């Protein structure tokens, strides 16, 4: 089964990739949606800090690739090509590489551009200052604990890296030429 995973620092426009792949027939599974459901069950506020904390809690209670394995089981039910977004841990990537035909895409952009995108998007996780944005990113970037996010190591494992400092139209064209 073909799985494309996406990893990125926040607000790199991974949603554009998801929309494109969905239009190409891919099923879409999201770690964020999985975590949002868990946050609601716990009566917590849906924000980036709680997403990170709940993800880390689930990984420490079970195992480092627990969340991705739950999504992978859903993907196996349809056996369609699938995109899984919000991959944040090395163990998640290792599990998907063992279990499927897996391709990891890293999407990035300059931090200033990403912060402006987050503010303009204004979702429930984006009501933050520039300083808070940087703090959240730093908390997710490097961790030696396998149950926590380690986005910088995930980037090193990517099969394709796209730096997205473009407009949406330019980004779509670049994406079409890359996949």
Q: How confident is the model at residue 130 (pLDDT cuts 50, 70, 90)?
A: confident
Which residues 6+ apart lie within 8 Å of 39 measured at CB? 45, 46, 50, 51, 54
Which residues 6+ apart lie within 8 Å of 118 measured at CB? 10, 11, 126, 128, 133
Q: How confident is the model at residue 60 (pLDDT cuts 50, 70, 90)?
A: very high
Please give the model's pTM, rounded to 2 decimal places. Answer: 0.81
Residue 21 has pLDDT above 90, yes or no: no
Structure tokens at 9: 């620092």
Asked whether the beta carbons of 58 and 119 are under 8 A apart, the reply is: no
Q: How confident is the model at residue 159 (pLDDT cuts 50, 70, 90)?
A: very high
Which position has the higher pLDDT, 95 or 15?
Answer: 95
């Amino acid at each position: 089964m073909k799985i494309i995973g996406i990893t990125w620092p926040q607000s790199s426009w991974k949603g554009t990739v998801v929309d494109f792949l969905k239009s190409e027939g891919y099923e879409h599974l999201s770690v964020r949606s999985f975590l949002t459901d868990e946050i609601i069950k716990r009566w917590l506020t849906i924000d980036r800090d709680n997403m990170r904390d709940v993800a880390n809690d689930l990984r420490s209670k079970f195992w480092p690739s627990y969340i991705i394995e739950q999504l992978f089981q859903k993907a196996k039910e349809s056996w369609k090509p699938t995109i899984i977004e919000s991959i944040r841990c090395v163990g998640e990537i290792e599990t998907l590489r063992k279990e499927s035909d897996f391709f990891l895409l890293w999407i990035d952009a300059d931090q200033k551009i990403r912060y402006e995108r987050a503010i303009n998007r204004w979702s429930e996780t984006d009501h933050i200052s520039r300083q808070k944005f940087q703090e959240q990113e730093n908390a997710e970037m490097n961790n030696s604990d396998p149950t926590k996010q380690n986005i910088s190591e995930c980037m090193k494992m990517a099969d394709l890296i796209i730096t997205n400092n473009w407009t949406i139209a330019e980004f779509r064209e670049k994406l079409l030429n890359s996949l």
